[in-house]
Amino acid sequence: MAGVDTTEAKSVGTRRPGGSSRRPRLSALRGRNVWRRGLVLAALSLLLGLGMALHSRIPNTIGNLGSLLETFLPWCGVIIVLLFVLAVLRRSASALIALLLPVLVWVNLFGGLVTDKTGGVGDLMVVTHNVDADNPEPAATAGQLADSGADIIALEELPGRSVSVYQKALEARYPYHAVEGTVGVWSRYPLSDSRPVDIQIGWTRALRTTVTTPQGDIAVYVAHLPSVRVQFKAGFTAGRRDDAAEQLGRAISQESLGRVVLLGDLNGTMNDRALAPVTSQMRSTQGAAGAGFGFSWPAAFPMARIDQIMVRGIEPKSSWTLPRTGSDHLPLAAWLEL
């Protein structure tokens, strides 16, 4: 009995009221769990951050994976938000701290686009629009673009059957125009030296013209690069577009005029390395003087800015998207300071 009593006494002696002897150990365990749980989320956050920071190092040899990521790179912000919500629900300190990497990278890449850099009107207003070959309302589309008050309007994906419709709707306000293949430009100011630009795709989808403005001559290029597709086996099929971009970049590099404007549907974003032959020598009006990302496609739910207004030797003042027309693209507009 004495032995039993002694054991019971020791057991009672080490026990605190309310079982408090277990609390320090449970608290420490919970603290460790805060760091241990959510390690998969933390790893995903680090991979996302590294992928964004090193996007230019991701090779295009397999399905043009690098260009595909770069096309939709801003949308990594949505993944960041999702990972944040999951980290909070998981109550993982490790995941939240790891999330700082993609957040900082995203802000470094796109933070400047979030702010409003529009600066009012300039000397020349330009508009570009892929009007869609199957647009059921070409006359109404042309009227909307003319009502914008632009000095120069560039149109892409012009079907031959609709050229006369656009011309009739625009000629009253835009007496000068040039059409080459499936692209065209309408202007308030005289045009000269208009000619097709061979981007080696088998038919004409680019042109070059000189616009004589009150502030002097500028070279205007209108281009519609080949479309890209995302296919299960082939991946991001953009080879023809990439080759056309190289040809367009070569033509612009040989331009004799110092002031150049490029208007068109490039089927790629400014982040896409494949468009470097063009983007390396031109400046995006949206990045310099826009507010937000200025996504232009698809019109129903814009996810990427594949239409572009780019300049060289000209200062962008403002850049924005116009209301939806009968096309699957949104029109883009910009004020330029000559």
The helix/strand/coil state of 110 is helix
Residue of 282, 332, 336, 280 lying closest to 306 (CA atoms): 332
Among 239, 310, 249, residue whose Cα is nearest residue 278: 249
pLDDT at 11: 46
Instruction: Give residue 66's pLDDT.
Output: 86
- In the prediction, which pLDDT does 60 show? 81
pLDDT value of position 68: 86
Residue whose structure tokens are 């330009």: 126
Q: What pLDDT does residue 8 have? A: 47
Rounded mean pLDDT for each run of 10 residues along the chain, 338 residues in total:
48 49 53 77 96 91 83 95 96 94 96 90 97 97 98 97 97 98 98 97 96 98 89 64 96 98 96 95 96 96 97 98 98 97
For the chain, percent helix, then strand, then coil, each to nearest 5? 45, 25, 35
> How many Å apart are CA 143 and CA 40, to the nearest integer?
54
| Residue partners of 300: CB distance under 8 A and separation at least 6 | 328
- Read off the pTM: 0.85
Q: How many CA atoms lie within 13 A of 290 on its CB side?
A: 25
